[in-house]
Amino acid sequence: MNPDPTQFEEPILQLRRRIEETVAAEGDPDQIAAMQAELTKVADEIFANLTPWQKTLVARHPQRPYTLDFIGYLFEEWTEIHGDRKFSDDPAIVAGFARFRGTPCAIVGHQKGRNTKEKIHRNFGQPRPEGFRKAMRVMKLAEKFNLPIFTFIDTQGAYPGLGAEERGQAEAIAVNLREMSALTVPVIVAVIGEGGSGGALALGVGDRVYMLEHAVYSVISPEGCAAILWKNPSAAAEAAAAMRITASDLKRLAIIDEIVPEPNGGAHADPGKAAELLAPYLEKALKELQKLKPAALPEERYKKFRKMGMFEKA
């Protein structure tokens, strides 16, 4: 693998620095406009030709908007709910209630941290079983009060630690899959960064599944796949290409419903714009799903997931 795999962004960063310096020096407005046009062109060219591994790096970008960022941009009256009422609270998953375009709703999502302290507090966005149980607690409350549910997926996977396994990690994920499939309220899913394994799917059984343009969604991380198949984690780039983890791959395989475009240079370049681009998809899905009778939602959801996958005969 390239020793500096993020270097594909360097031309963009150089142009941004030049623009900032010229603006600070109160340079020629025409020159600034020309550089901004060049920046748009260069960013478009680079991001239009990203490899699956490079998309993985973009999905993991430390400045990429997380669940709480999207909540701040898209929802009003956010009230967070803590704890699973069985063991403890898990900060790797945030859950609660808010309003979307005036409609009361529930929100559940993975949450990573920005700095070292936050990353440790959020367990790097890797939920423990109490996180999944907290998520289901909020979803069941939403169902009780007939509220639509929005979920935001962004995790490398469920935490594989000993304590998590002792407290029933696999069982907690399995229960979420079962219970989400049967919910009688609309469930709208957005993959905003990494969608890793069961830790992602535990929030991913929805009536509509959207995926940001440079997000990834897979059964395992590229590094994990490379370590298992080739006994070589450094073969992650090759694994990412083979695994079909990009939004375009998953749209073609009918795993997701729509690809949500990202701002020029990726969602991390303009989080507010990323939220603005996602909003119409969420709004459209909500309007469509609210027209269905509650009993029809789990039936249609079942059909949706049963149709996934392609098979070839030798």
Q: How many domains does the chain have?
A: 2
Going from the first residue of the chain to its last (314 residues), give the mean pLDDT of each consecutive group of 10, the final group possibly shorter. 62 82 83 84 86 94 96 98 96 98 97 96 96 98 98 96 96 97 98 95 97 95 91 90 94 95 93 98 98 96 88 68
Q: How far apart are CA 314 and CA 69, in angstroms?
A: 47
**Residue 141: predicted pLDDT:** 98
pLDDT score at 144: 98
- What pLDDT, on the 0 to 100 scale, is given for residue 211? 98
Both 162 and 92 in one domain: the answer is yes
Are residues 225 and 265 part of one domain? Answer: yes
Are both 265 and 158 inside the same structural domain?
A: yes
d(CA 196, CA 34): 40
Same domain, 35 and 73: no
Is 312 within the bounds of a domain? no
CATH number at residue 218: 3.90.226.10
State whether 287 and 188 are in the same domain.
yes
Closest CA to 258 of 269, 270, 250: 250
For residue 229, is it within any domain?
yes
- Does 266 lie in the same domain as 183? yes
Shared-domain flag, residues 228 and 179: yes
Check whether residue 120 and residue 238 sit in a common domain.
Answer: yes
Domain of 179, in residue numbers: 55-305
Q: Let me know: does 211 contact 218? Beta carbons within 8 Å.
A: no
User: Are 205 and 252 within one domain?
Assistant: yes
Contact criterion met (CB below 8 Å) for 258 and 210: yes
Give the 3-state DSSP-derived string for 272-293, with helices as H, strands as E and coil as C.
HHHHHHHHHHHHHHHHHHCCCC
Whether residue 87 is found in the same domain as residue 22: no
